[in-house]
Structure formats: structure tokens, C-alpha cells
Structure 1
Amino acid sequence: MTVSTDVGDDDGPTQRERLDLLVTDVATTLMGVVASDMVSTTEGVLDDLRHFFGVDHVSLRHTDHHLRASVLIAESPPRSATSHPDPSDIIYFESAGPVVEWAEQGVEPRVERPGGEAGGVSFLAAPLVSGDRPTGFLNLSKSGDRAFSNAEVDAMRAIAALFAQLKARIEAEERLLYTAQHDDLTGLSNRRALLEYMEQRLQAGQPGPVATLFIDLDRLKALNDFLGHTAGDQFIHALAKRLRDQTDPHDMIARLGGDEFVIVPAKPMTAAEAEKEAERVRQLVGERVVLGGEKVSRSVSIGVAVGTPGQTSVTDVLRQADHAVLAAKTAGGNGIAVFTDELRTMYALRDDVELHLRHAVENNALLLHYQPEVDLRTGKILAVEALVRWQHPTRGLLLPGTFIEVAEATNVAGELGRWVIREACQQFAQWRAQGMALDLVMRINVSPVQLVSLDFVSTVAKVLMEFGLAGSSICLEITEHVVVQDLSRTRITLEGLRRIGVQVAIDDFGTGYSSLSHLKALTVGALKVDQGFVHRLGHDTDDLAIVKSIVGLAKSFDLDLVAEGVETEIAARTLVDLGCYRAQGFLLSRPLPPVEIAKLLKVGSLPLNFLDRRNVS
């Protein structure tokens, strides 16, 4: 800002014109000021004011009404402080001199000249006013006697008003910025602020490694259900305060929403050091919180990932930490998992699957293999189970364990399930048209998403009609935990399937005993013993007792019983001894593609020579 410094001796037009030009120049200069350059720009304006008015010192101070103090923002020329901090930077009103004391309440300019108690200094103080409240003042001072004309007082009043507007605008922008970068409930940083911070930390040349702790509370919903969502919010708020109070004040702590938090320690940490810090945080979070007279606590799962500045992106580090916390929760929760090369391989596959699965379903990249179910006494094939596979273009043949969970998590399960039912029924109809599988049952697995779908029964009925199949030739398999999870919805669906003649079996039976009491109420025709119990038959007395009880249960309810996962001869012989004659597993046959299974269907049975052996280890 460049203005004339020729100050007149009266209130004539020439001086007013120069003063008007000064005010205009200050307004233009302050118009584009932002928070980051406010102080430096203000110092430049104060320099110009000092030269224009021919005074010794110019200062801008803001009022902190909460502290009841005047805070120095900028001055010209800057004083050489003899101590740090300089006591004049913050002056409390209760111990201030007359000028600063005036600034707490004064809304009109104040002028003082030498003489009496004023000493040898002349000054003009123009208040910054917002509404009717003083927010600071702009002060000109000169040693000796200096008269300030009315025009100069008016000009300083106008310039002070510009600085008041600037202060209000900067504060409003800072409030907006704070709101944009902080979580409403906790006051912690939000995702946006976290990403900006991590971008800076992971730039090349920054100190590293940069550790990230991804925190996910275990079962917060249970607390909300018990005490209500307000109490849940109070718990989150108390937890956030605890994290803030008991971590390094320079650490980045962000709430991503819900019950998820991220901590990025300010100091560099290796994976081992970050894991120790995560354990400290896990114990810290686990301490009880008092809410409405109740002492409550939640355990927490924490995923740890470490990035290298200049080599690792923010997206990669957060994804790795997210994968690690998922691994911790999958392991049962209340634990810590560090992202490793093993997890990298596993989740690279998961990410690939998530990205391409829908396309695979829509473009017939999936296929079905079929595993026979046989009578262990005769080897006769009684049924075949349709098992989905994915012929991945780069990873080869993928088994359902690789992609079913992803399908359920990404809302592809319903579409995938409909494809499996239609494909299996079409293949079954082709076999029957060729004179095969006339007295067999086709078993098809059903996902939880399908089971609770309102149009599921009608969809199955349409497929059966399309391929001319009787409902009794199809058995849909549902897992036991689904039955327990939503009994009322399951009962409605099963009743609808019964009306169209479709059989239903409970798969993986034995892993959720809470469903035993509901067997009478469910229209199911078969139980399939979970393979985990079958694998160890002949070697584990506990598993033997469980399978024996399931055999008795099936007989009591007049249900068919099928053993899954028969892989050893001793397991097969034990099942026969227990009275469980239907089985499937690798000992009998692996799942086979349609052409191969068709060869077995033409024969109609499998050889079971092992049943005649006497010495089975």
C-alpha cells in the first residue's frame, strides 16, 4: 500500500482527500486477507499508518472477553522483547493502564496529549466494534505533543472498522473451517482433517515410519439397545475425551463416524512400537465409564498399519489398517492385529473379488460343480449338492469360501443365489431329460439374503415351473445360524417352500444349539452334520458324543440325516455304526464338473470297498 505522507495542519479538503485515499487503500489491502497472512499483511498496513501519520508506534490489539485481556496482534515497529513471552503481548484489564482499561468497554475513539498524568506521549486509540461490542483497538502513539484533527480521528475510526470487519470475517472462516474438520459429537478431527494430516505426514522427506491405529468398538449396538442412543453418544463422547487426555497432545485423533476412531501418533513408530501403543489404547478404552448411574465398558478391536513417507499413500495405509482391524474382529474382537504380508495377500484377493464379482455373475463367469451324497451301506447315489465356483481370469478356479462372504457384504449375494438356483435346476432338468438322476434330489445352498427376501418363494416356484421340476426333487440348504438369527422370517419362508413342495435341510448342524428347541416349529426335512464334528470321528470322544446326540435327535423328529466332510475310513465306519447312513466328502468323491458327475450318475453308485476292511487305523 502506497499513500502520500504529506499531513496537513488543518481540516481542509486536501487533508481529507488524502485521508479518504488512505482509508480506501487500507480497505483494498484488507479485502483479500486470509487467516494465514493476516498478521504479516496487518504489519505492512501498520507500517504505512506509522509513516502517514508521522507517529512513533502503531499497534493492533484484539480483546479476549473470556480472559478479560487485550492481546497484541501486530505492531510497527516491533519492539525488542527482553523476556519471552513478552508481558505486553497479553495485558489483563484488571491490572491495565488507562488506555487498555478503556478498551474493554470503549466504543468511541480516545485521544490523549502530554501534560498532567498523561506524561510525554500523545496517542489516538480507535476501537474495533462488532455490533455494539468492542473487540479490540487500533492505537497511534508519539512521544511529545501531537494534535490529532477531527478528520484524522474519523479516518482512524473508519480504518478500525475495517480491521473489525476483517477480525469478524477471519473468525467466521475459522469457525467454518473448524466445523468442516471436526466431528460434531466429540470435537475430535474428522475424516477430512485426518486425510489432510496424513497427506502431510507421508510426504517424502517427512520423519517415519508413520503408524496408524484403526480403532473399532466391539458391540456398541448392545450398549445402545440397553441404555439408548443418547447414552451411546455420551459413551462415545467420554471415550473421545479419554483418548484426547491420555495421548500425546500432538497425536492426530479422528472419529470416522459411529464407533470408529483413528489415531496417528505424532512421533515415528515401527510396527512393534505401534502394537505396544495399540495395547495401551486397548486397555485405556476398556476402562469403565459411568453413564446415568451405570458403569459400562466396551472392548475394542485395533488394526495397526505403518507407512513410509514418500513410498506409501494415505489410501494404502488406511486400507491396511482397516483390513487389520477386520482381522482382529474376525478373530473374536478385543484384540490387536498388525497388517502383515499375509494379510496383504489375503485382502488383495478380497479387493479383487469385490471389484469383479458382480461382473462375473452378470457375464456367466461362474460355474457349478456337483458333489454326490451316497448311502454308506450300498454306495448308491442319493443326491447331489450344487457348489458354486468362479473361473477367475488370473487367479484360476476360486472356491466359494473366497467370494461368498464378499458377495454378502456387497449386496451381490441375492443375485448370485438366484443364478445358482436357476443354473442347478437347468442342469438337473437336462440330466433327467437324458434319463439320469430320476430318483435323486438336487441340494442347493441358500444365502441369508435370499431367505429373508419377500419374493424368494415365488422366484423358486418360477424356476421349477420353467424347467418342469417337481418341488420334491429340490432341497434347499440353510445354515443353522441363519435359523437362529431370524426365526420368524425363516418360519414364513419355510412354510412358503413347503406349500410348493420344496424340501429344506439345515446345513452345518451342531454349531448353534440354540436352534434345537425350534426344530418342531420349522418345516425342515433333513439335518446335515457339520463337517467339523465328522473330521475327528474315531479320534475325538467329544465329537463322537455330539454326533451320536444329533443322530438321536434326527430319529426323534423323523428327519433325514447327512454327514458332511467324510474324509477318513474310520469316520465313515463310525457313522455307519451310529446309524447315520447318508454322507458326502472327499473320501467318497470330490465335487465334480457336470461332465464328470454325469458319468457317476449313469452308474448310479460309488464303490465302498473300505467298509469291508477289518483293521482301520
Structure 2
Amino acid sequence: MTPETETTVPRNLEVLVTSVATDLMAVTAATSAQVSERVLGDLVTYFDVDVSFLRHHDHRIHASELVAEWPPRPDSAGPDPLKIVYFADSDSVFAETERLCEPTILRSEAVARPGSATVAEVPLRSGDVTTGVLGFVKFGEREWLGKELNALKAIASLFAQVQARIAAEERLRYLADHDDLTGLYNRRALLGHLDSRLAAGRPGPVAVLFFDLDRLKAINDYLGHVAGDWFIRILAERLQEGDEERFVARLGGDEFVVVPSIPMTTDAAETLAHRLQSVLRERVSIDGEMLTRTISIGVAVGTPGHDTTSDLLSRADQAVLSAKNAGGNSISVFSDRMSQEIALRNDIELHLQNVIDGGALVLHYLPEVDIRTGDILATEALVRWQHPTRGLLSPDRFIGVAESINLAGELGRWVLRNACAEFARWRSTGVGAQIVLRVNVSPVQLVTEGFVDSVAEAMAEFGLERGSVCLEITESVVVQDIDTTRVTLAGLKEAGVQVAIDDFGTGYSVLSLLKTLPVDTLKIDKSFVQDLGTNAGDLAIVRAIIALAEAFRLELVAEGVETDIAVRTLLHHGCHRAQGFLLSRPVPGPEMERLLAEGRVPVHFP
């Protein structure tokens, strides 16, 4: 090279590096290969070489991937043998590029090519790590100047920066669409996937399987959250196993969604759900423990162009909720009945507060009768909702929703005050003086601070004497928080309020507590009364409860009396108080007042 050429090289190299920097500045993951190929073409021309290539290293698998080359080789019918090259399978010279730190010049004997060739290899570096290699091949001899190699180092550094930036962007994009714990897709990716699958014109039906792990908390509490996370990862891996392609997402916690890639009918989706449920129930070894959990699965199917992502996921969610409510470890398929339940629940949730405040609630009353004489001994206040389009709704249609949206306490206070007010009005007209008013109490009310005082204030406000009001609590509520329950019941007893245990016999944990709780009445659950006289097992339970009430000197009431044989059986075994449709259905306040004025209901049992 002449002195004149020597003096022009630095200036031209600076322009070259600046030009490459400009070209690479706006590169994205989508344009990286195309722009890199164009830059390599410019470098081949500038340095008067025959071939240039850019490769990225993956140190996790000890391999090098071809990113761009110039001139491009024609596409082959099969896989490109140079696309991915494992260092362990390559020649020793190329293998050294895995951790190459400085530019290296190789001659023909070093690269084992026929004829004369010169190869320049320049590492891409990120900190102390070699992330790739920029290579140039000249068929024949070529001397590389130090200044040229310095320029190539600068260009390699630019390529390394692009590589790092794209890797960071891809990582952010990955994190935006994937769950950090399991590597599965996340909710955002699921919504996008379903939006695409449900677009008009796409093949359908589109099936969604919603998985909810039953009682993961037991693992977290027993072995810790690390073990729980490990358990979740294994389930995630199992959901991806199998020959069928499927989109698997984790929504968080112990909830997963599987969307089969092919159109699938409801029956086929249910079959798949059963198969996956069996796989997920297989035991997992964690810290020497063989663990397993049951799985609840909800299945729903949508039609492209008709159903939305929100609709389909809501159906699958409702289906898995139905499976959970059935005790878990089951598969539930969305149905029209569930759709009606969702509509009703949404209606109730949106309007219940206004209903409590606005007067759409009414009270009906169920008489409690001495089945020997027909005399009315008590009446149970039952709340109803006079819905403008759905008619009269019974409490089992909206009490559960009230509890879920924290309105159970407010609803209970409305029932207590209005029942006391109507009861007091009856008594002021001279009817019902000898009967007891029974009012159901929710679990929320029982543990609410100031509950006893609010009951006492209501009785005082409406002039109801001690012993005229009885609060009914379910057997399961008694043992939920026994210490608080015991204090509350003692306070009610001191205020002159009777206490009855409703639905008695459905559990056993309260039996040992009866002798220490201030209870006045047991009400036999209707499930043991409805078939009384034809079911020997029910009779055995009822006789045991009768003996228990006698031993503790408690009043006893049979609920759900609907047949003559049930009445005769109860009378024969010593239970005289009952309520049920055979005696009277729940009636509005004015009708209850009329019955109280008569004092009895007609009873004619053969």
C-alpha cells in the first residue's frame, strides 16, 4: 500500500464505521437480518473480500447461529447445515470462536479449505462474554492492516450492541406475554390468542378448558411456597405434554387455561379434559414427599364471529366454579342453565343494595305448629325479593350473592328490624301474644361487633318482651368461630333472646358443645324429615336427635314436614312441633296475621 493510500485509510474507515452505525441505529428484531445482510454486502465491497458472515452464540447449548451472510447462498430444499453449528461438532478452529476475545487472522491451512484463503474473525463482545463472531473470507492472500482490524472491532461492537438491544426487546416482549414462574403464556397473551381464534371466518368451534387446582394452600402451608411453586411448574409441564397442539396459559395462582389448536366440539373437549385431569393427578415428588392434588375443570365452547373472548372465558370460569361448588375434583361443561344463573347473579349483584334501600324486599312467614292440635306456636320470618321481571325470589336465590358482596349483614339487619316491627304490630292488635318470632341470622352478623346490642335495641324499640324473639343459626356456623359464638350467644341469652340451632343433624362437631352453649331449640334438618317413615336411616337419626333434645331439655322442631306418614312418625317418637308445606306454606304478613287471629291451622292426619 502506497503512502497516499495509508493516509486515506483512516478517513475512509471512519466514514465506514459511521455509515454502519447509521444503518444499525434503527434496527429492530424484525429488520435485523435484512439490514445486517445489506451491511455485510457493503463491508465485502469495501474490504475487497469474497464472503462475510455474522453469527450469534448461544452459550446455553454451546452453539452458533447464522444471522446473516453475504453473498446469500441459494435456499436449499432441506435444512441449512450452517444455520446452527454446535461447537462440539465443529472443527477446532471454529470452536475457538465460542470464547474469542480479539480479532484473529487464519490462513488456508488453518481453515482446511482447498486453495489459498484468508479468514478474518472478529468477536462480538458484551462485557466479558463473547456473544458472536463477524467473519470475512478472501479466496487468496490478503493482508489485514491493524487499522482495518480496529475498524472491524468497532463495527463488531456495533453489531453486539444491536444484538443486546434486540435480546432485551425480545425478553421484554416475552415477559409481556409469558408467566414468569412457569414460562407459560399469561392472561394478556391468552386474550390476544382468543381474539384471533374467535374472529369471523376462523374455523370453529373454539374450546376452552379452565383448570383450577383444588387446595394448593395445603402444600404451601405444609412444605412452603417454594414447594408450591415447584408443584405448579410440574403441572405446567404436564399440561403441555402430548401430541396435540394446544395453547396453554397460566392466569395466576393455581389457575390455568388450555385452548386446543384445532376446532373441537363440546364432547371432544370434555374427553380431553378427562385425559388431562388424569395426567395432572399423578403424584409429584417434592422434598421426599409424594404429593398430589385434585383438579376442577370447566369446559366451554365458542363460535368464531359470534362469541367474544370475554363471553367464552366467562362461561369457562362459570363452569369451573360449578365444578368447585360440587366439591371439586370434577369436570363441568357450561350449559344454558349456567348462563341463566350468571344473568341472575349479575342482576342480583348490581341491584341488591338498591333493593334493600328501596322497599322491594318483603317478609313471608312460616308457621310452626303443634301437630297434635294444630295450634300455632311460633312463626319464622323469611325474606323475599319482589323482582320486577323475575317475580318473587326466595332467599336461596340471593343470600349467597349478598354474602359474596358483603351485604349479608345489612340484609340481616333489615330482616330483623322489619320482622320485629310487624310482629309488634300484630301483638298490638291482640294476636300472637303467646307465640315466638324466629329470625335467621347469617354468619357475618353473628361475629359482627355490636350485634347483641343491635338485637336488644330492636326488641326495646318495638316493645317486645324477653323470650318473644328467637334467633336461628345453622349448625355449621356454631363451630366456625366457637369462642366468638359462645360469647355472642351468652350475650343474647342475657338480653332475653332465645337461640335455635337450624338444620341440626347435618354435622357432628356441635354435639360435644351443646352442654356448654346457651341453646333453647334444635330444628331437625328437613333432609331427615322428608322421607321419614320410608327411610330407616333417617328414622334412626331423628330418634337420636329427639333423645338428645330430651337429655338437654331443649325444644325440638321438625322442618320440612310434607307427608302424613312423617307426621305420624314424629308423633309416635315424641316430636310434637313441626313446620312444612303439609301444615302451611310461607305466607305474607297479612295472611300470617289472619292465621294468628284464628290461633291454629287445620290438621287432619289419619
Q: For residue 403 of structure 2, what is the aligned residue in structure 1?
A: 408
Give the paired residue count: 602
Paired amino acid for 2:290: K
Q: Which amino acid aligns with 1:315?
A: S
Structure 1 residue 87 corresponds to structure 2 residue 81? yes
Letter in 2 for 1:66: R
3-state DSSP of counterpart to 1:507: strand
Residue 555 of structure 1 is matched in structure 2 by: 550
Matches of 1:51 and 1:471, distance apart in 2: 106
Instruction: Report matched runs for 1:76-115 at 5 Å.
Output: 76-82=70-76, 84-96=78-90, 100-111=94-105
Separation in 2 of the partners of 1:563 and 1:530? 7
Aligned residue identity for 1:258: G
Local SS of the residue matching 1:514: coil
Q: Equivalents in 2 of 1:70, 1:104: separation in Å?
A: 8
Q: Distance in 2 between matches of 1:533 and 1:453?
A: 32
**When the two structures are superposed, what TM-score results if normalisation uses the length of structure 1?**
0.89
Q: Structure 1 79/311 Cα, relative in aligned 2: closer, same or farther at 3 Å?
A: same
Secondary structure of 2:55's partner? Answer: strand
Aligned residue number for residue 572 of structure 2? 577
Q: 1:207 aligns with which of 203, 207, 221?
A: 203
Letter in 1 for 2:29: A
SS at the partner of 1:79?
coil
Tell me what 1:460 maps to.
455
Structure 1 residue 377 displacement after superposition: 2.3
Partner residue of 1:158? 154
Larger mean CA deviation between 453-462 and 297-306 belongs to 453-462
Residue 174 of structure 2 is aligned to residue 178 of structure 1: yes
Which of 216, 233, 239 in structure 2 is aligned with 1:220? 216
The correspondence for 1:593, drawn from 559, 574, 588, is 588
Residue 326 (str. 1) matches residue 321 (str. 2): yes
Q: Distance in 2 between matches of 1:84 and 1:359?
A: 70
Does the 8 A contact of 1:113 with 1:146 survive in 2?
no
**Letter of the 1:256 counterpart:** L
Amino acid at match of 1:33: V
* Structure 2 residue corresponding to 1:441, chosen from 436, 443, 462: 436
- Alpha-carbon contact 2:107-2:118 (below 8 Å) kept: yes
| TM-score, normalising length: structure 2 | 0.91
Q: Deviation of residue 530 (structure 1)? A: 1.0
Question: Whole-Å Cα distance in 1 between the matches of residues 390 and 23 of structure 2?
Answer: 63
Provide, for residues 253-296 of structure 1, a one-character-per-residue CA deviation record: whole Å limited to 9, x for no partner.
22223332222222222111111111111211222222333323
Write out per-residue CA displacement over residues 410-435 of structure 1, whole angstroms, 9 at most, x where no aligned residue: 32222222222222223223333333
**Match among 125, 129, 132 for residue 129 of structure 1:** 125
Residues 65-87 of structure 1: CA deviation (Å, up to 9, x unaligned): 23333210122332125563222
Distance 1:477 1:10 in 2: 104
Return closer, same or farther for 1:147/1:272 CA change in 2, 3 Å cut-off: same
- Structure 1, unaligned stretches of length 5 or more? 1-7
Distance 2:156 2:228 in 1: 48
User: Which residue number corresponds to residue 27 of structure 2?
Assistant: 33
For structure 2, the residue ranges without an aligned partner over 5 or more in a row are none
Report the alpha carbon displacement of residue 166 of structure 1 after superposing the two structures with TM.
Answer: 1.6
1:517 aligns with 2:508: no
Q: Tell me, in whole angstroms, the C-alpha distance in 2 between the residues paired with 1:122 and 1:292.
A: 57
1:16–1:431 Cα change, 3 Å: farther
Q: Secondary structure at the match of 2:430?
A: coil
Q: Output the amino acid matched with 1:530.
A: D
In the other structure, the counterpart of 2:390 is 395
Distance 1:514 1:116 in 2: 85
SS state at 1:326 partner: helix
**Residue matched to 1:495:** 490
SS in 2 for 1:59: strand
TM superposition shift of 1:506 = 0.6
Task: Note the alpha carbon deviations across 1:555-579, whole angstroms, 9 max, x for none.
Answer: 1111111111222233233323322
Distance in 2 (CA, whole Å) between partners of 1:509 and 1:112 is: 91
Asked if the contact 1:531/1:564 (under 8 Å) is kept, the reply is yes
How far is the alpha carbon of 1:144 from its aligned partner? 4.0
- Shift of the 467–38 alpha-carbon distance from structure 1 to 2, 3 Å rule, reads farther
- 1:124, 1:140 within 8 Å by CA — same for their partners in 2? yes
- Distance, in Å, in 2 between the alignment partners of 1:43 and 1:465 is 90
Query: Residue deviations 1:493-541, cap 9 Å, x none?
Result: 2122222221111111111133222211221110111112221123323
The within-5 A match list for 1:248-267 is 248=243, 250-267=245-262
Q: Which moved more, 1:27-36 or 1:471-480?
A: 27-36
- CA distance in 2 between counterparts of 1:220 and 1:98 reads 52
- Looking at structure 2, the residues matched to 116 and 508 of structure 1 have their Cα atoms a distance apart, in angstroms, of 90
| Identity rate, percent | 56
User: What corresponds to 1:271 in structure 2?
Assistant: 266
Q: Are the equivalent residues in 1 in contact too, given 2:557–2:578 (CA < 8 A)? A: yes
CA positional deviation for 1:123: 4.5
Whole-angstrom CA distance in 2 between matches of 1:45 and 1:590: 88
Letter in 1 for 2:36: T
Residue 99 of structure 1 deviates from its aligned partner by: 6.2
Contact in 1 for aligned 2:93/2:110 (Cα 8 Å): no
CA separation of 1:94/1:234 partners in 2, compared to 1, >3 Å: closer, same or farther? closer
Which of 481, 498, 503 is equivalent to 1:486?
A: 481
Moved more, 102-111 or 280-289: 102-111
Shift of 1:481: 1.7
Structure-1 separation of matches of 2:406 and 2:400: 10
Per-residue deviation, residues 296-330 of structure 1 (Å, max 9, x unmatched): 32222211111222222222222111211222222
Distance 2:4 2:392 in 1: 95
How far apart are 1:605 and its partner, in Å?
2.2
SS in 2 for 1:416: helix
The 8 Å contact of residues 467 and 498 in structure 2, kept in 1 or not, is answered as: yes
Select between 593-602 and 164-173 the one with higher mean Cα deviation.
593-602
The equivalent of 1:4 in structure 2 is none
Contact 2:232–2:254, Cα closer than 8 Å, also in 1: yes
* Partner Cα separation in structure 2 for residue 51 and residue 602 of structure 1: 111
Contact 1:479–1:509 under 8 Å retained in 2: yes
Whether the 8 Å contact between 2:294 and 2:328 is mirrored in structure 1 is yes
Q: Which residue of structure 2 lines up, in the alignment, with residue 43 of structure 1?
A: 37
Please tell me whether the aligned partners of residues 244 and 260 of structure 2 are also in contact (alpha carbons under 8 angstroms): no
- Return the match for 1:504 from 488, 499, 505: 499
Indicate the larger mover: 152-161 or 298-307: 152-161
SS at match of 1:344: helix
- Structure 1 runs (4+) deviating above 6 angstroms are 113-118
Match of 2:417 in 1: 422
- 2:301–2:312: 8 Å Cα contact kept in structure 1? yes
Q: In 2, Cα distance between the equivalents of 1:429 and 1:11? A: 113
The residue correspondences of 1:281-320 to structure 2 (distance < 5 A) are 281-320=276-315
- After superposing the two structures, state which structure 1 stretch, 223-232 or 184-193, moved more: 223-232
Q: Secondary structure at the match of 2:345?
A: helix
3-state SS in 1 of match to 2:362: strand
**Which one-letter code corresponds to 1:89 in the other structure?**
K
Give, in whole Å, the separation in 2 of the partners of 1:429 and 1:9.
117
Shift of the 227–454 alpha-carbon distance from structure 1 to 2, 3 Å rule, reads farther
- The one of 229, 237, 258 equivalent to 1:241 is 237
- Greater shift, 261-270 or 395-404, is seen at 261-270
1:198 aligns with 2:166: no
| Matched residue SS, 1:414 | helix
**Residues in 2 aligned to 1:491 and 1:248: alpha-carbon distance in whole angstroms:** 58
Q: Distance in 1 between matches of 2:87 and 2:225?
A: 45
